[in-house]
Amino acid sequence: MAEVIKIEGGHKLNGKVRISGSKNATVALIPAAILAARGPVTIIGVPNISDVASLSDLLRELNVTVIQKSQDHIVIDPTEMYNKPLETQAVTKLRASYYFMGALLGRYKEVKMKMPGGCYLGPRPIDLHLKGFEALGATVEYTQGSYHIFADELVGAKIFLDISSVGATINIMMAAVYAKGRTTIENAAKEPEIIDVATMLNKMGAHIRGAGTNVITIDGADELSGCFHEIIPDRIEAGTFIILAAAAAEEMVIENIIPQHLEALLSKLQEMGVDMDIEVDKVTIRGGKELMGVDIKTLPYPGFATDLQQPLTPLLTQANGESTVKETIYTERFKHCVELQRMSANIDLSTAKATIKGPTKLFGDIVTATDLRCGASLVIAGLIAEGVTEIHEVYHIDRGYDDLDGKLKGLGAVIWREVA
């Protein structure tokens, strides 16, 4: 018996919403904590999402103590930890389990684990992660769906990433914290989550410089220990609420955000005609304005985030004229468009591109959250559609949004869950 989310559209939202800690930082920070030879690592601002529960299960398999001090506050103590193969279902529940590769390789010079899972967005290779480990001196073997990565010793190296991959940058950083000498990652990804992970590792005693630029250097450390760290706000959750406010709110204040992390989105929304006030750590959006279509091209940070093109699409169906979304990161990340078409959106799909014509009235229907951000896209569509929208496979939404329905109810949405 699976849960569905139902939304009765057309109710105007009002009020304040507080953004949780960044999912994509959290899912790297939790594995990074095991690099502490002596604990504990205290992390606050942890979002209440099922990816955190899956990663905590993996930590427990490694005999790491995980204490949930309060809703958003966990303490991870790896002092009694041991290394063992990670082959349970928790590995395949999420993509970010791959961060245990870098973390365990860094700490023990050996890791055995299954192929990670996660949202299907088209092919998601991890060749750059593996090449990075090999450059540090590791051997990578892959048999029957499992990786075995091991080294006698890890030695710093110069690594050029062919694509500035977020995952590869973080994974290599973690594998290199104990490597002998200096590792340099060139063409590194610059996402804010990478800075957050480097900041926590440095508090633990690592020597990482340049995170947030495209050249990161890591000088090997002798021993890392516990620290206290507060996670940055989730820029994708923030972006989702900002878009949702433009689509369905009278006036909404989105708090606990870092507007600089959202510049590409905010400037596109301004171009569309969205009425907003941007302050130091919050944005106020007033909906109900006439909107113009825009052209979006997803790019690595600080460009327009691929994770926000899906939530943006339903808003584009409400804008005047033609909008285009070109996807350069995950060229097949358009499953949400097929679901939105069921709700009467006028969208043409071609290779790596969606063309949206608006404004179009949306109608509630039975739709499927094929991945996390598709789920967010359908929730936004449901809020503005006429009638009731029924969203299936909502476990994808629960993987990455902290209490999305609770936050929306607090803003006046008519949203509920049923067992289908």
| Residue positions annotated with a catalytic role | 119
Answer yes or no whether residue 407 interacts with ligand EPU by CB under 6 A: no
Shortest distance in whole angstroms from residue 91 CB to ligand EPU: 14
DSSP state at residue 381: H
Strands (DSSP E) found in 165-264: 182-186, 207-209, 215-219, 225-230, 249-255
Minimum distance of ligand EPU from residue 223's CB (angstroms) = 27
125: contact with ligand EPU by CB under 6 A: yes
Nearest approach in angstroms of CB 132 to ligand EPU is 9
Residue 373 sits in the site that holds ligand EPU (CB under 6 A): yes
119 vs 347 by CB, closer to ligand EPU = 119
126 CB-near residues (< 8 Å, 6+ apart):
98, 116, 167, 168
Residues in 241-260 at the binding interface with ligand EPU, rule: CB under 6 A: none
Site for ligand EPU contains 235 (CB under 6 A): no
**306 part of the interface to ligand EPU, by CB under 6 A:** yes
Residue 341 · residue 89 · CB < 8 Å: no
Burial of 244 by CB count in 10 Å (0-12 exposed, 13-18 middle, 19+ buried)? buried
24 binds ligand EPU (CB under 6 A): yes
Is residue 58 close enough to count as binding ligand EPU by CB under 6 A? Answer: no
Q: Which is nearer to ligand EPU, 258 or 388 (by Cβ)?
A: 258
Compare residues 40 and 169 and give the one whose CB is closer to ligand EPU.
Answer: 169
Strands 182-186 and 158-160: parallel
Task: Identify residue 167 by its one-letter amino acid code.
Answer: G
- Compute the chain's Rg from CA coordinates: 21
Query: What residue is closest to ligand EPU based on CB?
Result: 167
Among 17, 27, 157, 252, binds ligand EPU (CB under 6 A): 27
Judged by CB under 6 A, does residue 329 bind ligand EPU? yes
By C-beta, is 236 or 254 nearer to ligand EPU?
Answer: 236
Residue 241 · residue 5 · CB < 8 Å: no
Do residues 188 and 213 make contact, with C-beta atoms less than 8 angstroms apart?
yes
Distance between CA atoms of residues 173 and 196, nearest Å:
12
Asked if residues 236 and 308 have their Cβ atoms less than 8 Å apart, the reply is yes
Q: Closer CB to ligand EPU, residue 195 or residue 221?
A: 195
SS3 272: helix
- Burial code (b: 16+ CB inside 10 Å, e: under 16) for 351-363 equals ebebbbbbebebb
Instruction: Give the nearest distance from C-beta 311 to ligand EPU in angstroms.
Output: 10
Residue 365, both tokens: 């229907």
Site for ligand EPU in 154-213 (CB under 6 A): 163, 165-168, 189
Identity of the residue, 165 or 377, whose beta carbon is nearer to ligand EPU in the bound complex: 165
Is residue 233 a contact residue for ligand EPU (CB under 6 A)? Answer: no
Residues 384-403 that bind ligand EPU (CB under 6 A): 400
Binding residues for ligand EPU, rule: CB under 6 A, are 24, 27, 95-96, 119, 124-129, 163, 165-168, 189, 236, 306-307, 329-330, 372-373, 400
